[in-house]
Chain A
Amino acid sequence: MADLTTNFLGITSPNPFWLASAPPTDKEYNVRRAFEAGWGGVVWKTLGSEGPPIVNVNGPRYGAIYGADRRLLGLNNIELITDRPLETNLEEMARVKADYPDRALIASIMVPCEEEAWKAILPRVEETNADGIELNFGCPHGMSERGMGAAVGQVPEYIEMVTRWCKKYYDRPVIVKLTPNITDVRYPARAAKNGGADAVSLINTISSITSVNLDNFSPEPSIDGKGSHGGYCGPAVKPIAMNMVAEIARDPETHGLPISGIGGVTTWRDAAEFMSLGAGNVQVCTAAMTYGFKIVQEMITGLSEWMDKKGYTSTSDFIGQAVPNVTDWQYLNLNYIAKAKIDQDACIKCGRCYIACEDTSHQAIWMKEGRVFEVNDAECVACNLCVDVCPIEGCITMERMPAGATDPRTGQTVQDEYANWTMHPNNPSSQAAE
């Protein structure tokens, strides 16, 4: 079993699986259970300023969307930051950290955008011996209406300013948690870096309405017939989160800035993907809220075994490995030509590839006598839709055409050399290859 010990900002944890700041990390009781189950670290549920705590709604906080068999694909929540007194949280954090010195414990913080507020809370957090802090600039509901959370995260200048205050009044690592509710995530990431952040973590939840009650026309979750947008998370947001992680990892201005990856991590494979795109570790919430803390055991064994198979001895061996392969569309190789291939032995003859191609794509699949489905290479553009809709994994594959072969769709010879849009004759601004 490969050693999963991960060093993130000098904070070591036995594995890269941290629980994100969220309902599962609101209390000592939960966090102790998480550490007993094997989680490598915990970002404690966001703390607010001293004084009367915020209040939550007293009706449903969560809404969901489902896949087949009511598998939870996306969760939305309107819960706010911790609704327990600051003192209680700080005492519990100190106790837990003392009992689990090998685990990472990070304090998430959200206080008003005033220097005094940060100056007041940071020393209190430091006393708990927490390993670092995470600035919650992402929460899209409730707190943002009070000028905190995403309201800060959507203004790069504020991010930079608050980060600076934190670096001024706090000696340990400062992680800035980014909101995805923004046009280009590179701007807040750059601001965090400019403010001196040690890392960014992303994504926070996405503003969302999960469903509408068609009897009373209330958005869900419904509080007395009204609904408010919540923060969306879970497997459904993973593609959005990974793109944002990759954008920051490959941006020349933020390249090398440590990233904690968040957004729909449910299995070891999700974690490995985030990390290959540049995340130094991952944070998990919805998967734990769906299945309980035990799921970390699958993540630990899965990642270890994959690393063993690949010959990796440390998570740093594969972190960022996919970043150089994330590029802009204009640099994709237009001389890469593939065709779909259907494995007749694996095919169960459902015909979904056929109808998807026939109705909505390129009419490149034949339906022959006896429900035999075959690809017509002369029409196939290798769009991959057939692969995506096929219920049998591996039944349809995309096979690259070798150089020198003739593409029956275009009648042209497949070229060996790389050529992209910037060089293409149809591009008015193309430049000659030489």
Chain B
Amino acid sequence: MNSPTTSGIVAGRLNEQQLADNFSDLHAPLDPHEASVAADRCYFCHDAPCVTACPTDIDIPLFIRQIATGQPEGAAKTILSQNILGGMCARVCPTETLCEQACVREEAEGKPVIIGQLQRFATDTLMAQGIHPFAREGNTGKRVAVVGAGPSGLACAHRLAMRGHDVVIYEASTKAGGLNEFGIAAYKSTDDFAAKEVDWLLKIGGITIETGKALGQGLNLSDLTSEFDAVFLSIGLGGVNDLAASGADKIGVTDAVDFISLLRQTDDLKTLPIGRNVVVIGGGMTAVDAAVQSKLLGAENVTIAYRRGRDRMAASEFEQDLATSKGVRILYNLQPVAFHGNGSVVEVEFEYTADTPTGLQGTGETMRIPADQVFKAIGQTLETSEQLKIERGKIAVTGAGRTSVGGVWAGGDCALGGEDLTVTAVAEGRDAAEDIHQTLMGKA
């Protein structure tokens, strides 16, 4: 039996019970009483700031009032009509920087209405009954291809199906869901929720999914545009940024996204190896997800090293606090310069940095942190060879996701604009679907 202090990258540092506890729901679902008490705190604001803050414009005061008056299913329909992945967004949205930050009770008392958890209460209630509250409009005879079955692609496909179009989703991996399935910390999406949500979404009908297919992997854009009436690209960011540090090829240095994905697809976490001394390089949500889960798997020491100061960190304050509460150490103003070790990494050498008027500069002073496993989480990049206009590393779009190629729309992380959040991806997919619909029906 291994323990957190066993050297190297090994499996089974914690027993089954510890792992089950560690990877249970981050926020236990509200029971009806808790939901009722929480819902009563909503002031039903006019032109509510929480709605403005929501990328999908969910009518939050309305759905909370529906919960308060005993209509959780109606509340769910209010949510899902704006955001078909409202169930997942209730789990993964950084509400502390979106709706809950804008809540007037945050201003009044420093304690917002727990909008995210209420949203989960409503959507879970509806989904537990197996109800899909939307029906398709009359068949238009139009066919649309969606490339990528992540949040944006699923949202786009659902809205198109609802408007009466037939949709084929092409997905590179073996499973639909995108980052919901592969890229989110396990404790935010327990009990195989991402897959269940996809199954529930598909109940609308009119959508088929073909897995193992992607642009450059059996598909190309010109074939798609000739075969379909419209194409929506939601291909995400398939590549990862490289580190400038030397020795990045040493054994034990990998991409955080691969680790997170592997963890999500591992049925028995006792079999998943993790280092004793884990170092995560980066400052976003991916860095936090990788670090926290390393700790939860039983790593003894987990350090996040970020090259800038705390105020610049992309992970929200809530996420940073979550990490430190789980025992993760966060170090700021450190950039990696070298990975040391004979074959396998044993320590990472960092240089201190300072924000100067001419940009981030190394101070020349260095330090070393022991590491048998290093996760790189310094951002992802778009991978495409298609003839699309690219701007700042992403597919350039105008309006509701129109690309430079006629008949081709794009949304989600691969497209320019908006934050790289699930909720933003859903909004972009939904809006592109409406634009495609208007275009195909000759109304735009």
Contact = CB atoms under 8 A, between A and B. Distances in A.
Interface in A337-370: 348-352, 354-355, 367
Contacts of B46: 350-352, 354-355, 367
A126 to B, nearest CB: 51
Contacts of A69: 37, 40
Given A355-B46, A367-B47, A371-B49, A350 B36 contact: no
B108 A352 contact: no
Interface residues of A, number: 14
B184 to A, nearest CB: 33
Interface in A67-86: 68-70
B305 to A, nearest CB: 39
B37 A349 contact: no
Nearest to A389: B43
A392 interface: yes
B47 A70 contact: no
A60 interface: no
Contacts of A350: 43, 45-46, 104
Given A68-B40, A69-B40, A351 B47 contact: yes
Interface string A183-203: 000000000000000000000
B47 A348 contact: no
Most buried by A among B47, B48, B105: B47
Interface in B40-55: 40-41, 43-49
Nearest to B52: A371
A225 interface: no
B65 to A, nearest CB: 12
A391 interface: yes
Contacts of B391: none
Contacts of B49: 349, 371
B70 to A, nearest CB: 10
Given A351-B46, A354-B46, A70 B36 contact: yes
Interface in A264-308: none
Question: Interface size bucket, B side?
Answer: 10 to 19
Contact of B105 (A68, A348, A354, A367): A348
A346 B91 CA distance: 33
A146 B269 CA distance: 75
Interface string B335-364: 000000000000000000000000000000
Interface in A384-402: 391-392
Contacts of A352: 43-46
A70 B45 CA distance: 21
Contacts of A348: 104-105, 107-108
Contacts of B40: 68-70
Contacts of B43: 350, 352, 391
B108 A392 contact: yes
A355 B44 CA distance: 11
Contacts of B47: 351, 355, 367, 371
A88 B246 CA distance: 96
Most buried by B among A348, A350, A392: A350
Contacts of A391: 43, 108
Contacts of B44: 352
Nearest to A349: B104
A64 to B, nearest CB: 15
A391 B105 CA distance: 10
Nearest to A351: B46
A69 B37 CA distance: 5
Contacts of A354: 46
Nearest to A354: B46
Nearest to A373: B46
Given A367-B47, A391-B43, A349 B36 contact: no
Contacts of B45: 349-352
A356 B286 CA distance: 45
B47 to A, nearest CB: 6
A68 B44 CA distance: 13
Most buried by A among B46, B48, B105: B46
Contacts of A349: 45, 49, 104, 107
A24 B45 CA distance: 41
Interface in B41-78: 41, 43-49
Interface in B99-127: 104-105, 107-108
Most buried by A among B36, B41, B43, B105: B43
A68 B41 CA distance: 8
A214 to B, nearest CB: 10
Contacts of A70: 36-37, 40
| Chain A to chain B: the 6 pairs with minimum beta-carbon distance, closest first | A351-B46, A355-B46, A68-B40, A350-B45, A348-B108, A348-B104
Given A348-B104, A350-B104, A392-B108, 5 more contacts: A68-B40, A349-B104, A350-B45, A351-B48, A352-B44
Interface of B: 36-37, 40-41, 43-49, 104-105, 107-108
20 contacts: A68-B40, A68-B41, A69-B40, A70-B36, A70-B37, A70-B40, A348-B104, A348-B105, A348-B108, A349-B45, A349-B104, A350-B43, A350-B104, A351-B46, A352-B43, A352-B44, A352-B46, A355-B47, A367-B46, A391-B108
